[in-house]
Amino acid sequence: MVGWAIAVHGGAGVDPNLPTERQELAKQLLTRCLNLGITALRSSVSAIDVVELIVRELETDPIFNSGRGSALTEDGTVEMEASIMDGPGRRCGAVSGVSTVKNPVSLARLVMEKSPHSYLAFSGAEDFAEQMAHALIIYSSGCGVEREENGYFVTEDNKGMLKIAQEANSIVFDYRIPTNGFESCGVGVESPIRMNGLPISVYAPETVGCVVVDSQGRCAAATSTGGLMNKRSGRIGDSPLIGAGTYACNICAVSCTGEGEAIIRGTLAREVAAVMEYKGLGLQEAVDFVIKERLDEGQAGLIAVSNTGEVACGFNCVGMFRGCATEDGFMEVAIWE
């Protein structure tokens, strides 16, 4: 028996001018999710069920960029993606290009549990969702596949930010940053922040994720996102990629957030487990090493738990929406350093 631990994030890279009320809403949601997870863990719910439960909660609330409230493609639609991984046996499931599934993380769970595959995308993922909805597959956690029209996911805030992004001819990471000052985000102004060598006007993604170790020492991770505002249709980020945005094994679980292309290049989530296994680093040491040594010039953050009940986080950008709790009573919700 080990002490359980949970960590949750709502994205790394936060606008320092984000209004106080927006910060408070984010912290309230993170606190609610932590309390939900704590209750489940105290009731001996398994790690894999808890991460799905928490990410579903985050996907259903439009505060962050996942599920309802997802960022919009250049065509004004949503293409959501998610992944989930169960440390015992390294079982995993992932989906991309989902546009009608209320909770993409649960579809990823179904890919893991009810298909011979690890990853389904676009029309294949939608067809699988339709099949699972008709089969009325429900797990012990009470989760299944619910379908919604694409319009359910599109909010007025999203529409406004897509318009701003298109007028600026740019990809925008945070679609809820106040519009004051966006007159400087046009194509004629070069941003100091780059993605794959190209300037990006704003860096503040709001992917969501959760990592858990339960009292049996089982680790699990899940990550979900709507991607980038004004992204090219068909773009896939790190969130559904096992080993990049999400990873869990018998020693730890990791969920990443930030510049997806940099996270993919660095196989960031897997690297945390690798340096723990091969270099003998502790959890926080491993997180710090990976953030410093594996991102090159990219900006990102991550949360992690170990099979001994440790919890850790790290980021190299301005803030990360995050919260964590452990069985010994520790609990923290924060945004800044």
Q: Is 188 annotated as a binding residue?
A: no
238 is in an annotated binding site: yes
298 is in an annotated binding site: no
Q: Is 323 among the annotated ligand-binding positions?
A: no
Q: Degrees (nearest 5) of the Cα angle 73, 197, 233?
A: 15
Residues 6+ apart with CB under 8 A from 329: none
257 labeled part of a ligand binding site: yes
Measured at the CA of 273, the angle between CA 269 and CA 278, to 5 degrees, comes to 140
235 is in an annotated binding site: yes
What are the angstrom distances between the C-alpha of 126 and each of 104, 147, 208, 310?
A: 10, 10, 21, 37
Does 77 count as an annotated binding residue? no
Give long-range contacts, CB 8 A cutoff, 24+ apart: 181-188.
Answer: 181/17
Q: What angle do CA 211, 214, 218 make, to 5 degrees?
A: 80
Phi, psi of 121 (to 5 degrees): -140, 150
Q: Which two tokens stand for residue 277?
A: 């296994």
170 residue type, one letter: S
Does 267 participate in catalysis according to the annotation? no
Q: Of 207, 223, 246, 326, which is the active-site residue?
A: 207
Taking alpha carbons only, the member of 8, 10, 337 closest to residue 176 is 10
38 is in an annotated binding site: no
Known binding site for substrate: residues?
A: 235-238, 257-260
Instruction: Give the active site residues.
Output: 207
Bind-site residues: 235-238, 257-260
